[in-house]
Copies of this chain bind each other. A is one copy, B any other.
Amino acid sequence: MSQEKIPYKIYLDEKEIPRNWYNVRADMKNKPAPLLNPATHEPMKPEELAPVFCEELIAQEFDNDTRYFPIPEEILNFYKVYRPSPLVRAYFLEEKLGTPAKIYYKFEGNNTSGSHKLNSSVAQAYYAKKQGLKGVTTETGAGQWGTALSMACAYFGLDCKVYMVKVSYEQKPFRREVMRTYGASVTPSPSMETEVGKKILAEHPGTTGSLGCAISEAVEKAVTTEGYRYVLGSVLNQVLLHQSVIGLETKIALDKYGVKPDIIIGCAGGGSNLGGLIAPFMGEKLRGEADYRIIAVEPASCPSFTRGKYAYDFCDTGMVCPLAKMYTLGSDFIPAPNHAGGLRYHGMSPILSQLYADGYMEAVSVGQTSVFEAAELFARVEGILPAPESSHAIRATIDEALKCKETGEEKTIVFGLTGTGYFDLVAYEKFHDGKMTDYVPTDEELQTYFNKLPKIY
């Protein structure tokens, strides 16, 4: 029980790295709702997705029953580049806050992609290679997912084609250069390489692009190019499966020291980090073996859980992808321009949506300025400059720790530090210059998007 016994950083031995992913769906009584064909509104069949996605990934996507998936040796081998990631006891933060709470964070940013995204990109690249494909396509906004994918493709010798939203391509060239270092081809979107790109450019010659358009280009390129498939970095069930390594490592590290968390906190955009972090803990909760408070933290400017509808919606603005039942703000919803960092997706992982609907999780939304205040405080005492996304979890953790200070409770809090903010310094600059603002959509605005939700019951 002594604090001194727990080191600042708990690194697992390489032999302790999990050898199986955990599929939380196996323990869910209410499974996530099936994907629907956007044309027929009938449940998607695996074979319908085969032109777009890799075979084994489709199998993972549909599998609600298999509890553990063995992690292929090739992926375990790549893990050695950047895993195990440290579980850090935030002694410095606790001291600064003067809280009796015990705070831990699982730090997934110690790799060149700068985030947890690598956990899924390595898996998706591996299965693409195994299927004998030549390459994969994807879209990226600021470039976090594209960077992670380019690293994985370099390792497996796979071609990597990234459509990057044009405004980011031009204004945020640094992640683009990281991708090029790893051999990816990065195309500003919209481009003349695809029919959809040509069409958009013809209609809107000066457009700076959008994530929805980049998705459409990446999908078109994949289905029209021999030996290519499309890959995606969040929201999907398969992604949460791959990300379960975060939570599994966290649990092994805590178990070594006999620590049982009271509260687990993660930021939530599409849900890939949160779903991965909480997976084994949620499993225990679903099986009635343990109880934890699990808190999703989202930006007040993009509040899918806290203000969205639980309904079938399009996953993409182009409305070509399957429909998913999820907490959504509507597929046309785009956060206000003052919104910094990621966590800008209109929907939410169907798995997490079901768990939230069933009362297994809580959600809070936090304002942007308060998030950066938490980020700066954290950076100064813990030494790591956090990504804006991760800083949502830091904000909520600090708030819970301060509640403990008031009540005197020695709660144990674990949160996910998904990545570093080295490529997000434009947002930090706005914060330092007092130019950061907090914009929250009104109920009326949200209603206009809800009115456009597809009518499926």
Contact = CB atoms under 8 A, between A and B. Distances in A.
Contact of A182 (B82, B379, B422): B379
A375 B178 CA distance: 12
Contacts of A139: none
A425 B143 CA distance: 14
Contacts of A155: 380-381, 383
Contacts of A178: 385, 422, 425, 428
Interface string A1-42: 000000111010110000000000000000000000000000
Interface of A: 7-9, 11, 13-14, 80-82, 91-92, 110-112, 114, 151, 154-155, 173-174, 177-178, 180-183, 375-376, 379-385, 420, 422-423, 425, 428-429, 432
B177 A380 contact: no
Given A174-B422, A178-B385, 15 more contacts: A7-B14, A8-B14, A8-B81, A9-B80, A81-B92, A81-B382, A111-B383, A111-B384, A112-B385, A112-B422, A174-B425, A178-B428, A180-B428, A181-B380, A183-B380
A420 B177 CA distance: 14
Contacts of A383: 81-82, 111-112, 151, 155
> What 3 pairs between A and B have smallest CB-CB spacing?
A81-B383, A177-B425, A8-B80
A11 B381 CA distance: 23
Contacts of A181: 375-376, 379-380, 385, 428, 432
Given A81-B382, A384-B112, A11 B11 contact: yes
Contacts of A81: 8, 92, 382-383
